Structure 1
Amino acid sequence: MGAFVRNGLKWFWVAFANASMEKKLIVVFIFLITLPIVLASYFSYRNYSQSIQDNSTTYVKEVSSKIIDKLDDYVIDLKQVSASPLYLTQLQEYLMQPGHDVIKERFISTNVYSMENLKGANNTSVYIRDKFGNLFYTLKTEGTRADLNEKMEEWGKLAHNAKSALVISTERIIRANTGKPDFVFSVIRELRNTYNLEAIGLIAFESNLNVIKNAVANIDAATKGTTVIVDDHKQVIYDSGEQMIGDNLANDEAVKKAAETQGSFPLVKDGKPYLISYSTSANTGWTVLIYIPTKVLTAEATKTRNITIIVTIIIIGFALFISIIISYALTRPLRKMASLMKAVQGGNLNVGFNVKYRDEIGLLGNHFNRMIMRIKQLIDEVYTGQKRKREAEIKVLQSQINPHFIYNTLETIRMMAEINEDEKVASMAYMLGSLLRYSIINDMETVTVAQELEHLDNYIYLQNVRFKDKFQLVVLLSEEMKQYQILKLMLQPIVENAIYHGLENKEDHSEITIESYEDESFLYLTISDNGEGIDGTALHKLNDRISNPSSQADSKHGIGLSNVNDRIQLYYGDEYGLRVESTEGKGTRIVLRLPNQSS
C-alpha cells in the first residue's frame, strides 16, 4: 500500500512538473482557493449540524421532563385524593356495613361526587367498592365499561397485593353503551380501617388518556417523531400510534438503553436512524422515550449543506475562471518569449520582446533584448574580424608575387654564383631563399621563438650585407622563453620597421635588443632600438592607427605593426596586441602583450 501511494505521488509530481506553466498556475490557484473553501464549508456544516442536534436534544429532554413532571403531578394529585377516605371515619363505617340501603348509597355517592371535583380527579370517573363487593361510582367518560364487574375483581387483587400502595395501569376497553374502543388510565388503591388496618374496600380513578395524549401530540408535532411511555415494569402506558398500549417492552433495545434518569442515544430501528431522548420519573418510575428521526434533526443542516455545496461550486467555478484568466495573462509573455527564442534559434535575430511592465517578466524581457543585441554585436565583430583577416591575407598575397618563381630564381642565381666561385653572392641568395621559404612556403601558423629568431638572424644578415654590418641583434631571452609558441612572422616585421624608420639614417652603430618579462596573466616581448625615436604627435597617430586600422592616421607608416597587431588580436583575443613606446632622439620600444602559457 505504501509503495502504491509513493508511486502515485511520484507519478503526480512528474506529470505536474512536465505540465505547462499555465496548467501549473491553474492547479495551484484551484488548490489554494478550493481547499480553504471546502474545509471551511465542511467544518461549518459539521459544527452547524452538531449544534442543531445538541439544541434539539436539549429541547426534547426539557419537553420529556415536562411530560414526566405533568404526569407526576397528576398521579400525586390522584394519590392525595385516593387517600381522603382514610380520614373519613363515617365513610369507613359505611364501607364495613353489609347491605345496600338508600342511606348508605346516598352517603357514599355524595363522597364519590366530592372526590370527583377535587384537584387531580377532574374529568375522571371514580369507583368505590365496599367490603362486601357493593360498587358505587360516577362517570365522566363516554360510557360504562363492558367488563366492569370482572375488572373490579382484578383491581381488588392488584390493590390487595400492593398493600395500600397505588397501582397504575393502562388498557384498551370497550364502552358498554357505545361499543367503541377506548384507552383508559387507572389509579387503584386498597382502603383499610385506620384502627386495625383491615381491608374494607378499594377506590379507583379511571380517566381516558387525553391528558397524556394531548401532551404527547404537542411534543410529536414539535419533533416530528413518536413517543412511548412505559411504566417501571416496562409495560407501555401510551404510545403515539396507540398500537402498543399494554405491551411489555422489557426486551426492546431502546428501553434497555434508557437505563439512566435522563439521556439520549442514537438507534437504528426498522432500517431508519433515530435519536432517542428519554426521561424517567423518580416518583412513578415511568419512562418517556421520544423517537426523533435523524433526518428531521439534520433537515436544516442538510439544507444548509446543500446551499453551501452550491455556493462552493459557484465560487470554485468562478475561481477556476479567474485562475484561467490570470494564468493566461501571466504566461502569455512567457509564451511570447519562448516563440521569440525559437525564432532566434532558427537564425532570425531581428526580433525583440515588447517590455510593458517592470516586473520579473519585464526584467527577463530586457535581458533577452540585451542578449539579442550582444549576439548581433558579436556576429558583427566576428564578421569584421574575418574581413580584416582576409584583407591582411590579401595584402600579404599582393606582396608575394609568385613566391615560387622568386625562390627558384634565387636558387638559380646562388648556383651560378657558386659556379663562378662568388661565395658572397651565393650566401646572400641562400639567405634570401631561406627567408622566402620560412615566410611564404612554410604553412605553420605558430612557431617557437627560437625559430622566429633564426629567421630574424637571416634577415639581419642580409641587411648587414647591404649596410656593411651596421646592425647588431641582441637577444636577452632564456632557453625556456625560446620554446614559447608565437605567431609566425611576428618579430621580423617589427625589426624591419625599426630599421627603415629608426636606424637606417643613423650614422653610428645601431642595436636592436629583444627581451621579455611576465606577470600573472600576460607575457611581454619587447623589441628596442637606439634609433631616432618618434615625437609625441607622431607616436599618438601611430598607436591610433595600430589600435584602429580604419582611422585616418598616416598610412605610410606602421603598416607592418598594424598587421602584427591585427594578427595577434585575431588569434589570441582583443585583450592582447601591440603598443609603441618612444622618446625622440633616444629610440623606440615595441611591446607585445601575449598570453602567459605558464599561468
Structure 2
Amino acid sequence: MVRTFQALSIKSKVTLAFIFFILIPFSVLGLYSYNQSQRFIQAQLLANSQTTAKQIKYTIESKIDLIESVSNNITYNYRLQQFLGEPYSSDSNSLDTYFNYAAPLVNYAMLFQKINIQQISIYTNNTSIPEGFGSFYSEQKIKKETWYDTFMASEKKTLWVLNTIQADGSELFRYIQKMISIEGSYLGVTIVDVRSSDLLEPAESPNIANQPVYVLDENHKVIPQGNNDTLKALDKVSSSLFSQGYAKESGFLYVADTLKDVQHVIVMVIQLPPLLGSLQVAANLAFILTFIVLLIAFYFVLKMTLSKMKTSIKQMDLAIETGFKPIPIVRKDEFGVITEKFNILLNKITLLLSDMIKKETMHKDAQLIALQSQINPHFIYNTLDIFSAKMEIAGQYDVSDAMADFGKMMRYNMDGHAKFATLSDELRYLGQYMTLQKVKYGDSIHFRVHVPNELLTIQVLKFILQPIVENSVKHGFAKQDTLDIDIYVSQESDLSIRICVKDNGAGIGTTRLNELNEQFRTSVYLAKGDKDRESIGLGNINERLKLFYGENYPLQLNSIEGQFAETILTLPYDAKRIEENDNVYRVNY
C-alpha cells in the first residue's frame, strides 16, 4: 500500500488528499451553508436598501436642481441685469420696467415651479433702485450675515446656507447666487429660500422598504425625529458608514448617501434578522475544528512531498559544485522528470560555457589587433603634418594647406563609427575636399555654399555630399574649362530639408536623366559599363537615404543638357518652419 502510494504522481497524491481531507469532510459540514445563506440575505437586504436610499436621494436632488434652475433663470436674465445695472430714474422708463417686468419676473418664478419655494429675494448694490414687492432689497441688509464676507471674497458663484433658524423655529435652506453681468460687473445676489420640511420631504415620508430614514447635517449630527433608541444607536455608528456608504452596528444595518451641494446625508436604518442561536454557534465551532484538523493533515502531506523536493535540490547543488556532473535518476514520478530535464540543462550550460570561453578569447584577440591598428592612422596623421609644415617652410602654401586638409579628411573618415554628423561638419569636409581640387584646377573651379545658420546643427548622414560634388567635378569639365558648383540648403513648406548640389557643367540628357531617376525611385540599378560607374556612388547614397529616412526620400536629379545639372536630397525635419532671412552661412572656394 505504501509503495503504491509512493509510486503515484504528485497530481494523483494531491487529488487523493483533496478527496479524503477536503471533499468528504466538507460534505458533512452542510450546516455551514446556513451561514452563507445568512450572508446572502444580508447582501440582498443591503442592495435593496441602497436602491431605496438612492431613490430618495435622487428625488431630493431633483428638487435641488429645480431650485438652482429657478435661480439661474432670474440671475442670468439679461433684461433684469440691464435694469439692475443702470441708475434708476423716475423720469425715464425705469418705473415701467420695475412694475411691468422686474417684479412680475420674480412673482412668476414663485408661481410656476414644482417645489414650494418660500421666497425669492434679489439684493442689489444699485442703491438708486427702490425696495419693494417683497423681492428687491438693498445689499446692505445681508452684509451682516455670517456667510457674506467669506462668500464675497471667494471665487464661488453659488452657495447653499443650511439650517437657518426662522422666527417660527423652522429650518430653512437658502440658495445664494452671485449676479454678474455679461460685461463682468457685479450687480448683487439672488437668494432662494425653501423650508427644510419641503426640501427633505421624500426622506420623511414612508418609503417602499417601510424603513425609517434620518437626515444628518454637514457635521454628521442627527436631526432628531422618530424612535429615540434608534437615534442613540445612530449617534454611535462607526465612521465606515460615511466612507463605505453602509455599516453594521448593534443588530442594525445603516445605509447612507450624501446629497449634492447641500452636504446633508440621508441614512436608512434596517434591523437585521436574528441568527439561529446555539445551532449556528455549534456549526461554526465544528467548522473551525474541522478546518484545523484538515490543515494539520495537509501539513504532513506537504511536508512529505517537500522533503523529497529538498533532497532533489541538494542533489542539484552538489551537481553544480562538482562541475555540472549529471544527477542519477532513481524516481519515475515528476521529480524524476525534473532531474532528467535538469541534466539536459547542465549539458547545455557546459556547452555554452565552452562557447563563451572561445568567444571571449577571440574578442580579446580582436581588441588587441584593433589597438595595434590604431598606431598606423596616427603615424599617417603625424607624417602628413610633417609634410605640410615642410611645404609651408618652402613657401608652397597651397600644397601645404591641401596636405593639412587631406589629413583632416582622413581623421574625419577614420574617427569613430557614428552614422550621423552635423550639416556644419559635412560642409567643412566638403571645403577640405575642394581645397584639394583647387590644387589641380586652380581658379578654374568655384565652390559656394548657401545655408541658413539655423540649419547648420541638423543631423545628416555622413559622407552623402562629397560623392555628389566629386561627381560634379568629374563630369563638369567634360566640355568647358571652368566649373561653378553651388550648394543650396533650405527648409520647405512641409518642414523637410532640401539640399541641392548644382553645377553649370555639361548636364545630362533627357533619356539618361529619366532612367537614373527611375532607378533611384525603384532601387533597381542597371549597370551598363564603366561609363555608368558614377551611378554606383549615387545609388549608394540613394540607398542610404531610403534606409535611414524611408522610401519617400529618394535621390532626385534635374538637368538641362549643356546648361546645368543638379542633385537634390530631401531629408525629414521636425522642427518649426524657419522664416526666410538674410542670416545665411556661405562658403566660397
Normalised TM-score (structure 1):
0.33
